């Protein structure tokens, strides 16, 4: 397990930041959209994704409370401290039903890797005992694990933005637990057509299609920010074994 962290109190002092209100963890998160409201509110946010530069870094000119971690989620442990909330966006390319026609050609290896990533997110979420949200589009995860707790379209929360936005549909599934609160919708009328199909083929297409709707991110913050901090398990608690 990778467990080296560069963040400490002296780092915060150098950045002129007060002690963080708590830790927010976002797994398989390249953009940081989901944690932005939390970082701005004073929480120290770790966005873990293999696409980030190796180790820990802050975006140039960005919020000092947002830390990018270039690591494999399956081999990473968060810093010791109270985790306020955890988000996870496991890769969906090989399990989303929108690509069902290619499942047989992809083979078992891609399926196993996708489910292993999802399993790692579940185990880490339960281990922290923090409220959590795991997100995927409509996928075969419902078959291999359990049905989602909630579904939504980005337009359902477009009213949380000023001006309103996210006026598009993309059915998204959420698996939640440990007291996570689903936000109250503030719906805007979606524009016709599929926004996710407008992105031309290229290396960034998958990231662009999977960006978290900013309205939903804001809504989750509004609904869950008042939650009291949950304590991390004692150091002696064992890392949960893989269910594989």
Identify whether 64 is preceded by a cis peptide bond (ω within 30 of 0): no
Domains annotated on the chain, with CATH: 9-224 (3.40.50)
145 vs 173 pLDDT, higher one? 173
**Which of 35, 44, 47, 37 is CA-nearest to residue 17?**
44
Among 116-120, 199-203, 233-237, which range has the highest average pLDDT? Answer: 116-120
Q: Given this model, what pLDDT does residue 96 score?
A: 45
The answer to whether residue 153 scores a pLDDT higher than 70 is yes
Instruction: Share the mean pLDDT of the chain.
Output: 78
Rounded distance, CA 214 to CA 165, Å? 9
Mean of pLDDT values over 183-197: 82
Rounded distance, CA 89 to CA 133, Å? 9
The answer to whether residue 106 scores a pLDDT higher than 60 is no
**Which of 127, 126, 130 is CA-nearest to residue 230?**
130
**Which of 42, 122, 37 is CA-nearest to residue 87?**
122
DSSP string, 192-234: SS-GGGSSPSSTTHHHHHTPPPHHHHHHHHHHHTTSPPBPPPP
214 vs 243 pLDDT, higher one? 214
Residue 27 neighbours by CB under 8 Å, 6+ apart: 48, 49, 73, 86, 87, 88, 89, 90, 120, 121, 124
Q: Which two tokens stand for residue 37?
A: 């409201």
Q: pLDDT by residue (tens digit) across 173-184?
A: 999 999 999 999
The answer to whether residue 208 scores a pLDDT higher than 70 is no
Q: Are 67 and 57 in contact, with CB atoms under 8 Å apart? A: yes
Mean of pLDDT values over 187-209: 63
DSSP secondary-structure letter at 15?
Answer: T
Q: pLDDT by residue (tens digit) across 36-61?
A: 999 999 999 999 999 999 999 998 87
The answer to whether residue 3 scores a pLDDT higher than 70 is no
The answer to whether residue 203 scores a pLDDT higher than 60 is no
Lowest mean pLDDT: which of 152-156, 186-190, 218-222, 229-233? 229-233
Among 87-91, 223-227, 236-240, which range has the highest average pLDDT? Answer: 87-91
Q: Given this model, what pLDDT does residue 233 score?
A: 39
């Amino acid at each position: 397990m990778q467990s080296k962290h560069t963040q400490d109190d002296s780092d915060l002092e150098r950045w002129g930041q007060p002690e963080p209100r708590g830790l927010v963890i976002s797994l398989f998160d390249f953009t940081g959209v989901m944690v932005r409201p939390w970082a701005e509110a004073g929480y120290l946010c770790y966005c873990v994704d293999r696409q980030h530069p190796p180790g820990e870094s802050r975006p140039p000119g960005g919020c000092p409370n947002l830390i990018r971690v270039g690591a494999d989620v399956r081999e990473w442990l968060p810093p010791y401290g109270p985790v306020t909330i955890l988000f996870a966006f496991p890769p969906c390319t090989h399990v989303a039903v929108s690509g069902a026609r290619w499942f047989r050609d992809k083979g078992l290896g891609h399926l196993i890797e996708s489910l292993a990533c999802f399993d790692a997110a579940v185990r880490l979420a339960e281990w922290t005992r923090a409220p959590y949200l795991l997100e995927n589009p409509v996928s075969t995860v419902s078959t291999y694990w359990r049905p989602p707790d909630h579904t939504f379209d980005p337009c359902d929360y477009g009213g949380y933005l000023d001006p309103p936005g996210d006026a598009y549909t993309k059915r998204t599934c959420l698996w939640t637990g440990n007291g996570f609160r689903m936000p109250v919708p503030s719906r805007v009328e979606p524009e016709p057509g599929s926004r996710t199909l407008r992105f031309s083929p290229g290396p960034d297409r998958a990231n662009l299609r999977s960006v978290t709707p900013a309205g939903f991110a804001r809504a989750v913050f509004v609904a869950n920010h008042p939650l009291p901090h949950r304590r991390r398990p004692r150091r002696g608690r064992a890392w949960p074994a893989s269910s594989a």
